[in-house]
Every structure is written in structure tokens, then in C-alpha cells.
């Protein structure tokens, strides 16, 4: 049944996150961007909201609530609205845990999910992106060669969230031969694995509060049990789709932040004798921001809902992500223009959102639902 109505619980969760975003994220966002760091205190405060643990079954040390990509989408939009860099940092543990939940073997769930049941923030991450021009997940070069019972991983990864502190990495690699998703696998690599080098934090255009690192895998030897999903491996589409749906809704939250910042600004700012909001060129631009933010959200919700139903979301997730990347870029770009010179200086957040929109729009595998 087609419905745009969140459940009672979902509405409550969304409200709580909106309040948290305004209270705990907005005030520190600029400083975290300038210093390119995320305060432990913040990570711990989000941890205590239980975002990662809630949907882990009690058997694995979680709160045992139903796994719901839709609920996670509602939560992510609000956190991204607060600050998308901090949101991705806070949700990095889920990037590892949710994938284990969805695609891991029983042994893997038992082995790794309990890591996230504790009191303290625990980081584990996903390594999908590679440092090559026009990178596309289908062009993944990191290879996993069978060796005896296990595998040997070789390759380079970049943009690994919280790689500086992650205890484990889910590394996407080309297992089988051939092109396309069927050739892709993921492997659980502990931080201290032989041959794994974790580079210094990367410096990026945006999402600066989110620490990302590069990984070099030089013939990293892994046991058979390290292969995600065990013997049968995984359908890498599921992994990519969840990431794209997540990016789509994160971009929606970011776009909404821009739009909601511009509205009061345009009403206050006077030029040629009246509020610039009364100029059609500005007013229509603000209307378009609202139109596209709604559209982005609907597309992301549809993908999330298909994920929740266990349906193939390959099409809906791709359309949602590509659409959101393009429209969020336009919105952030127009946000700078609405503020004019003030949009170019770091006294206002729009220049940061402009950088974040462009950065988030080209990343994959850095957040999931």
C-alpha cells in the first residue's frame, strides 16, 4: 500500500533526532570543519542514543528492535540536517554492523555484532572506494586471490571513514573473475592484519570533520571465515544499494539545511529597498529548493522501503542517489548565490555546505541504512 506516513515510533525518533541535531550538532559543526576533527564527546553522546545497537538482535548484544532501513533513513536525514560530516562519523559503526547484520554469516554475526553492544563508542568501518580517476564500484581493482582455505587481498582503498580508529574493516574486493557485481566480495580485515597499512588521515574538500584514511593492502592473508557471508559470499548489490539509499537521504538532509537557512536570510536581507526574498529570482529559487528537497526525500524513501521489504533496490537506489547528488549540488550552489558575498565567507555555513554537497555527492560506501 502506497503510504508516506511514518509510524508513531518513527515520528518520535525523527523528532528526537531533529532536536539533537539542532542542540548538539549545529553549534560545533563549524569548528569541527575548521579543525578537521570530531570530538570524542560528541561521538559518545550519539553512541548513547543507541543508533547502532538498537537494531541488533538481543542474541548479539543489541536492543533487538526490528531492522528498519526506513527508520534509519528518517534518522539520517535529521543528523545530516544537523551536520553531514558529524552524521557520517557517528554512523560509521553502523556502516560495519548493518552490513554484517544483512549479509554476514551466523558465525560472523556472533563474532562481530557484540562489539557494538558496549557502553563506549566502537568504530569499525567499510572500505569500498579506490583512489583512481572516475572510480566506479564496478571497476574495483582490489583483488582477493584464493590461497589454500583462505584468501590473499591486494590493492588500495581511500575514503575509509574513521579508519584511524576502526577495529575492523569490511574491504570490498574482486573475488571471482568477470565484470559486474557478481565478481565482488567483501572481507573482514582486522586493523592489525599483516600487510595492511593505514595511511595518515586524508585532507578533503568537504566532510572535513569526518576523518577518512587510505588503506594499502599488500598481500594481506585472510582465513576463509573472513569472507563476508561465508561460503556463499554476498550479493554486492545489496551492499551498494543500501549505501546509495543512505547517501540519497543524507543529501536530502543537507539540502534541507541549506534551504531552511536561506529562507530567513532572504527575508531579512534588504537590497534595492526590499527584502531579496520578494524578488522572483530569489523566491522562485527558494521554491525550487523545496520542490527538489521533497523529490529527493521521496526517491530515497522508496529505495529504503524496497530495502526494508528485501526487494531488489538496484534501480531505485541508483536513481535516488544520482538524482540527489545532482539536485543537492544545485541547491547548495544556489544557497551560496542567495547569500552573495556572505555566502563566500566562513562566517556563514553555506560555503561549508557547498563543499560538503560536492564531496558527499561523489562518495559511495561511506554510510548505509
Partner 1 sequence: MIDFELTPKDRELLEAIRREALVARGYARHYDENEHEFPPDELPEAKDFPSVFSLFAGRGKEDTGMGVMSMLLTAGQTWGDYSVRMRRGKGGLGNAALRAAGTLAQQEKWKDLTLAMAITEPGCGSDPSAVQMTAVLDGEEWVLNGEKIFVTTGCRADGVVVWATIDKAAGRAGIKSFLVEKGTPGFIVAHKEKKLGIRADDTAAYVFKDCRIPRANLLGGEETIPKAGSGGFRGVMKTFNMTRPAVAAIGLGIAEAALDFTRDQLREVGIEIEYGGGMGSQSAVVRRFQRLEALYEAAMLTVLHAAYLSDHAKPNNTEASIAKAKGGSAVREITQGCIEILGPLGVSRDHLLEKWFRDVRITDIYEGTGQIQRLIIARDILGYSSAQLR
Contacts to a copy of itself by CB under 8 A: 279-281, 284
Q: Are 318 and 138 in contact (CB under 8 A)?
A: no
The angle formed by the CA atoms of residues 60, 159 and 152, to the nearest 5 degrees, is 70
Answer for which of 306, 328, 331, 369 binds partner 1 (CB under 8 A) is 306
Q: What residues between 154 and 183 interact with partner 1 by CB under 8 A?
A: 158-159, 180-181
Nearer to partner 1, 81 or 159 (CB): 159
Q: Considering only the stretches 43-51, 82-90, 118-126, 355-363, report the one whose residues sit in contact with partner 1 under the rule CB under 8 A.
A: 355-363
Lookup: cell for 331? 541547491
Q: Segment contacting partner 1 (CB under 8 A): 37-45, 89-97, 169-177, 283-291?
A: 283-291
Please say which residue, 179 or 284, places its beta carbon nearer to a copy of itself: 284
Q: What one-character-per-residue DSSP string does 288-334 give?
A: HHHHHHHHHHHHHHHHHHHHHTT---HHHHHHHHHHHHHHHHHHHHH
Cα separation, 70 vs 88, in Å, equals 17
Of a copy of itself, partner 1, none, which one sits near residue 25, judging by CB under 5 to 8 A according to partner kind? none
Least Å distance, CB 340 to a copy of itself, is 16
Q: DSSP letter at 37?
A: -
CB neighbour burial string for 144-173, b if at least 16 within 10 angstroms, e if fewer: beeeeebbbbbbbbbbbbbbebbebbbbbb
Please report whether residue 137 would count as binding partner 1 according to CB under 8 A: yes
CB of 338 to partner 1, least distance (A): 10
Q: Does 1 bind partner 1 (CB under 8 A)?
A: yes
Identify the burial level of 297 via C-beta atoms within 10 angstroms of its C-beta, where 0-12 means exposed, 13-18 middle and 19 or more buried.
Answer: buried
6 binds, among a copy of itself, partner 1, none (CB under 5 to 8 A by kind): partner 1
Selected from 33, 77, 185, 364, the binder of partner 1 by CB under 8 A is 364
Round to whole Å and give the CA distance between 282 and 174.
Answer: 48
Report what 347 binds from partner 1, a copy of itself, none; CB cut-off 5-8 Å by kind: partner 1
CB of 262 vs a copy of itself, minimal distance in Å: 17
Residue 14, binding choice from a copy of itself, partner 1, none, Cβ under 5 to 8 Å by partner class: none
* Residue whose C-alpha cell reads 560538503 in the numeric block: 356
Q: Helices 8-20 & 69-103, crossing angle to 10 degrees?
A: 90
Amino acid at each position: 500500500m502506497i503510504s508516506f506516513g511514518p509510524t508513531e515510533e518513527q515520528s518520535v525518533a525523527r523528532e528526537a533526532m531533529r532536536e539533537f541535531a539542532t542542540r548538539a550538532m549545529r553549534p560545533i559543526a563549524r569548528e569541527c570543519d575548521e579543525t578537521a576533527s570530531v570530538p570524542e564527546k560528541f561521538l559518545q553522546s550519539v553512541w548513547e542514543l543507541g543508533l547502532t545497537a538498537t537494531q541488533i538482535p538481543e542474541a548479539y548484544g543489541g536492543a533487538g528492535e526490528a531492522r528498519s532501513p526506513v527508520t534509519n533513513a528518517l534518522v539520517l536525514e535529521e543528523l545530516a540536517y544537523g551536520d553531514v560530516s558529524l552524521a557520517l562519523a557517528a554512523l560509521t559503526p553502523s556502516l560495519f554492523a548493518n552490513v554484517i547484520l544483512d549479509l554476514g554469516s551466523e558465525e560472523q554475526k556472533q563474532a562481530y555484532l557484540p562489539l557494538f553492544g558496549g557502553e563506549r563508542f566502537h568504530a569499525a568501518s567499510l572500505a569500498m572506494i579506490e583512489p583512481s580517476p572516475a572510480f566506479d564500484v564496478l571497476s574495483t581493482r582490489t583483488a582477493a586471490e584464493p590461497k589454500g582455505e583462505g584468501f590473499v587481498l591486494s590493492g588500495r582503498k581511500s575514503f575509509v571513514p574513521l579508519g584511524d580508529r576502526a577495529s575492523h574493516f569490511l574491504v570490498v574486493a574482486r573475488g571471482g573473475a568477470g565484470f559486474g557485481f557478481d565478481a565482488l566480495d567483501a572481507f573482514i580485515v582486522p586493523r592489525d592484519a599483516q600487510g595492511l597499512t593505514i595511511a595518515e588521515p586524508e585532507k578533503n574538500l568537504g566532510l572535513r570533520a569526518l576523518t577518512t584514511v587510505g588503506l594499502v593492502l599488500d598481500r594481506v592473508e585472510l582465513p576463509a571465515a573472513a569472507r563476508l557471508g561465508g561460503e556463499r559470499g554476498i550479493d554486492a548489490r545489496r551492499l551498494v544499494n543500501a549505501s546509495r539509499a543512505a547517501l540519497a537521504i543524507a543529501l536530502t538532509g543537507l539540502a534541507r539545511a541549506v534551504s531552511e537557512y536561506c529562507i530567513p536570510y532572504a527575508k531579512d536581507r534588504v537590497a534595492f529597498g526590499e527584502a531579496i526574498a520578494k524578488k522572483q529570482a530569489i523566491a522562485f529559487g527558494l521554491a525550487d529548493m523545496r520542490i527538489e528537497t521533497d523529490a529527493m526525500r521521496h526517491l530515497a524513501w522508496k529505495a529504503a522501503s524496497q530495502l526494508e521489504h528485501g526487494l531488489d533496490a538496484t534501480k531505485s537506489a541508483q536513481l535516488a542517489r544520482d538524482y540527489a547528488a545532482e539536485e543537492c549540488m544545485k541547491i547548495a550552489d544556489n544557497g551560496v548565490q542567495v547569500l552573495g558575498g556572505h555566502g563566500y565567507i566562513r562566517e556563514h555555513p553555506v560555503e561549508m555546505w557547498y563543499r560538503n554537497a560536492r564531496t558527499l555527492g561523489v562518495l559511495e560506501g561511506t554510510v548505509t541504512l
